[in-house]
Structure 1
Amino acid sequence: MRLALGRTEFCFEKITSPGYTKDGEAYFSHLHSDQYSQFLYFLSHSLWNRSENKPICDKLIFLNKMMNGMFYSYKVELPNIFLFGHPVGSVLGKAKYADFLVVFQNVTINTAVDDAGSPAPVLGKGLFLGAGAMILGNKTVGDRVSVGAGAAVYNAEIPDDHLVFRDRTGELRIQHRTKGECTAQQFFNVPIG
């Protein structure tokens, strides 16, 4: 429990969203469902790494699914610094995740990983996933990438500093970011780099 709380504090002290800090210190409330979902990940993952106590870890994941409608495995290595922003309906599959991940509602990361050892996607630092965003397949998504609401990346490499979005006609667009900082940066108080 102490390890999970320490990991939670380390993560939360870097988040700029209201309610994650109080008087300059990391703040955790079990009544804040986004925070609690993150804590349940840290707790289940920490327990799995220390004891591989599958029954307890499964119960923690089921609790999160019941309370938040979100699924991730305690075996998945989520980054040390990430934010779940109203992640109802999100499914985070096996992938190589990096710090400064932002996940909103109905996000899907569903990979080609199977027991035969197919590769998982590599997701870069500062990845922002808007409502309904999907990453399917096993290709690399670069650093400081934003996948907008309803946009799907299907088995495609996305270079660093790019936006993936649907335009007004519904066409999928991939273009270089023109703003100075990536979308994920607004959620963290340390530079993504």
Structure 2
Amino acid sequence: MSNIEEIIQGCKEGQRDSQRRLYEMYARSLLAVCMRYTKNRMEAEDFLHEGFLKIFDKIGQFESKGSIEGWLRRVMVNNILESYRKNSKYSFVDDSDINLAERYDDTEEDDGIEVSMSELHALIEQLPDRYKLVFKLYVLEQFSHEDIAKSLNISVGTSKSNLARARQWLQKRIDKKKAEKERALWQI
């Protein structure tokens, strides 16, 4: 039995030392996950602690077939989503324009002007909340539209529509940033 398997088994048996070791191994990476969903570090830490309580409560459901880190991330994100649902923090655009997702075309000619990762992250954080949550779940957490719909209590079409609108919103701002950079180049 490997070290992580021993820790997981200890957690399943309610051993505090094993719980502490699991927390120490994954708290940092799971805090980064929590920070994706809030700009407030204290709120992210609250999510982290609540999430670990859920993890320890549900650890018996973990099956060794998959990755423990993936399972921990999933429990943590689901905890955050549950909190948002309870507090009605996000409202979602309905899926009346379902074809929006199918019409979205992200094939653009490469003009050689790049937007940095930090600029992209800043733009993602500026997304309207209803788009940002779906975008992060789909792109960063790799949830399916079905999982997003179930987690947020919305339809699959609404998930697709919000993702497409998030991409359009981002593309518009990326194009604007590129145009600003291009103008700056011509002024040199």
- TM-score, normalised to structure 1's length? 0.28
Q: Greater helix share, 1 or 2? A: 2
Q: TM-score, normalised by structure 2?
A: 0.29
- Report which of the two structures shows the higher radius of gyration computed on alpha carbons: 2
Q: Which has the higher strand share?
A: 1
- Bigger relative CO (Cα 8 Å, ≥ 6 apart): 2
